[in-house]
Amino acid sequence: MIQRRLYIYIVAAASFGMVLVGLINLGSTALNQLLNATPPYTNVRDAYAGFGAVILVGLPVWGFHWWLAQRFAARNADERTSAIRRLYLYVVLAATGIALAVYLRRLIEAAVGFVLGTSSDGASITRALWATLVVTAFWLYHFRTATVDRNNVGESGVSATLRRWYAYGLLFLGLAFLLFGARNLLQQIWVLLVDRGQVIAPGGLVPTAMATMLTGLLIWGFHSQWTARPPIAQDDQRSTLRAVQRFLALTGCVSLALFGASQLLYYALARILGIEHPGGVTTSIVVAVASPAATVIVFGLAWLWIRRQLAADAGATEAARQAGVRHLYTHLVAFLALATLAIGAAGLLWTLSDQILNNALHPPSGGQVGDWRDKVSLFITLVVVGAPMWLTHWRQSPELVERYTLSRRLYLYATLLGGVLAGLISGAIFVYRLLALVLGTSDAASGAPVIDMGRALSVILVAAAIGLYHWRVLRSDAAARPAPSPSGISSPTGVRSPAGVPSPVYGGGQGGGVLVTITGASEQQIRQALSTLPEGANFTIQR
């Protein structure tokens, strides 16, 4: 049975691909000829023959195998619930969904460009329209088939996972299109409004950004609404893929917002230090800040928005999951902020060491003053952006409930690993250049090994500081870890009870009993909470 299914759906998928490619290209060739546009193929007859053959072979093969698949599905519910069938459907939906995003973007870009007068290529609109129509028709057909299957026999296990891969993958793609398109459009609007230079050709930057944003809105909007409605919403509430998609989006937004903020501060600081063209920008500074400012606005807002979504998702589940999501978010931001801070600190030390050692080894020429000031502005900016972010998100000694979370341990070990690797590589470079200096290699006379050693030492210092600090935190966490009690229940040794609450006493207990300390609740509330214990269970409340 499985072999038959595999055969049918593999052949159907391959022949469907042939039909899709053939239809899009055959239509485009015909439209080019009708509109007297420059054909993409040197020989139009070759194109007709090639794509015609692909359709003539692919269409009957796909039609026959798909008919077989539908016939078996109508007869037998097992066939309809089969994971292989769902794999075919969601792979086709994902492929046509991505193709739809590409062609729809092209269509909107060409149409907006035509309307705004930045493009005169009318044939590209009809080509994109044809491709969009073909892909939309196939996508809708497969989407409807998947919905009919779900309504008839349900969707669980592997089938539901396949649907989530499709839904959250497209949701992520749509969100990326939406945010990058909005950022680029805001940037272009800014440039158009503040740039006083004579623009001789506006180009297609505004239509392109607009097309990316609108395509993203459609793809993201549809899948967002689809996954937010019952029964899919309830089914996916505890889905790991859903959370992973949101955390991936959050990571991207936090990174880009931090990058944009760093760039903005860098330009400001560089101008204060008298750098005319910070980072080598040739255009005016008002135009140059368009990109980082747009990045901060769009990705900063997206950051807040996704954070709210994560909180809302967690709010619908139990308290433990809420706390887990909150900790994961906090540690993720702390990690990205620490990376920014570390790069800034190491870069600052590197630049200062370069400057001091170069001045000591060679008389200053005066020509590179702007260069080192430019770098100093950049790295100070990274420190200024990274340090407060890290300090506000990182807690060295949090409550017990946070101290042993997986996300905190991931943060600690990832940071430690980064610090150790950076220290190891820089240490090797330091020793290599030291040996070069001692042995008098060809560049030793120019002082190059000393400069390289200064650079390596800068990285070693920062890596060591970060590594040592986090190693100490790991040790402190390990020391504060509750020791296992004789009854097999952990006792939080070393953890002080809140004032006025007696310290718990652990021991053999009655039948492996548990001693729980509760604060912030009245005795009546505690008794009410414990009233649901199973029959035969006893408890004692001690003040």
Binding-site ranges for another protein (CB under 8 A): 38, 74, 106, 109-110, 112, 115-121, 124, 143-144, 147-148, 150-152, 178, 180, 182-189, 191-193, 195, 197-210, 213-214, 217, 221-222, 224-226, 228-229, 256, 259, 282-283, 291, 294-295, 301, 305, 308-309
Instruction: Look up residue 361 and give its amino acid.
Output: L
What minimum distance in Å lies between the beta carbon of 114 and another protein? 12
The H-or-E segment that residue 336 falls in is helix 319-361
Return the number of the residue (30 or 217) whose C-beta is nearest another protein.
Answer: 217
Task: Tell whether omega for the bond before 231 is within 30 degrees of 0, i.e. cis.
Answer: yes
What DSSP character marks residue 491?
E
What minimum distance in Å lies between the beta carbon of 159 and another protein? 16
- Counting every residue written for the chain, the total comes to 543
What minimum distance in Å lies between the beta carbon of 146 and another protein? 8
Return the number of the residue (255 or 490) whose C-beta is nearest another protein.
Answer: 255
Return the number of the residue (7 or 305) whose C-beta is nearest another protein.
Answer: 305
Q: At what angle do helices 319-361 and 448-480 cross, to 10 degrees?
A: 160
Return the number of the residue (10 or 116) whose C-beta is nearest another protein.
Answer: 116
Separation CA 91–CA 9 (nearest Å): 11
Kindly tell me the burial class for residue 301, based on how many C-beta atoms sit within 10 Å of its own C-beta (0-12, 13-18, 19 or more): middle
- C-beta of residue 212 within 8 angstroms of C-beta of residue 181: yes
Task: Tell whether omega for the bond before 482 is within 30 degrees of 0, i.e. cis.
Answer: no
Return the number of the residue (153 or 425) whose C-beta is nearest another protein.
Answer: 153
At 43, list the tokens: 């020989």
At 443, list the tokens: 């560049």
Return the number of the residue (194 or 521) whose C-beta is nearest another protein.
Answer: 194
What minimum distance in Å lies between the beta carbon of 311 and another protein? 11
Return the number of the residue (150 or 470) whose C-beta is nearest another protein.
Answer: 150
**Which of 478, 516, 537 is closest to 505 using CA atoms?**
516
What minimum distance in Å lies between the beta carbon of 28 and another protein? 14
What minimum distance in Å lies between the beta carbon of 248 and another protein? 14
What minimum distance in Å lies between the beta carbon of 441 and another protein? 38
What minimum distance in Å lies between the beta carbon of 80 and another protein? 12
Return the number of the residue (214 or 384) whose C-beta is nearest another protein.
Answer: 214
What minimum distance in Å lies between the beta carbon of 374 and another protein? 18
Residues 6+ positions from 516 with CB-CB distance below 8 Å: 504
- C-beta of residue 487 within 8 angstroms of C-beta of residue 507: yes
Separation CA 462–CA 421 (nearest Å): 12
Residues 6+ positions from 128 with CB-CB distance below 8 Å: 103, 106, 107, 109, 110
According to DSSP H, which parts of 228-318 are helical?
Answer: 232-236, 240-272, 285-288, 290-315
Separation CA 467–CA 461 (nearest Å): 10
Q: At what angle do helices 158-194 and 83-116 cross, to 10 degrees?
A: 10
Return the number of the residue (58 or 292) whose C-beta is nearest another protein.
Answer: 292
- C-beta of residue 282 within 8 angstroms of C-beta of residue 264: no
What minimum distance in Å lies between the beta carbon of 11 and another protein? 23
Instruction: Look up residue 24 and give its amino acid.
Output: I
**Residue with token string 């604060």:** 519
Return the number of the residue (207 or 419) whose C-beta is nearest another protein.
Answer: 207
Give strand ranges (E) for 349-492: 483-484, 490-491
Return the number of the residue (148 or 424) whose C-beta is nearest another protein.
Answer: 148
- ∠ CA 429-433-435, nearest 5°, is 120
Return the number of the residue (188 or 351) whose C-beta is nearest another protein.
Answer: 188
What minimum distance in Å lies between the beta carbon of 21 and another protein? 19
Longest dimension (CA), the chain: 93
Bridge-partner residues for 484, per DSSP?
Answer: 490
What minimum distance in Å lies between the beta carbon of 188 and another protein? 7
Return the number of the residue (16 or 190) whose C-beta is nearest another protein.
Answer: 190
How many CB atoms sit inside 10 A of residue 307's CB? Answer: 17
**Which of 414, 421, 272, 422 is closest to 345 using CA atoms?**
422
What minimum distance in Å lies between the beta carbon of 324 and another protein? 22
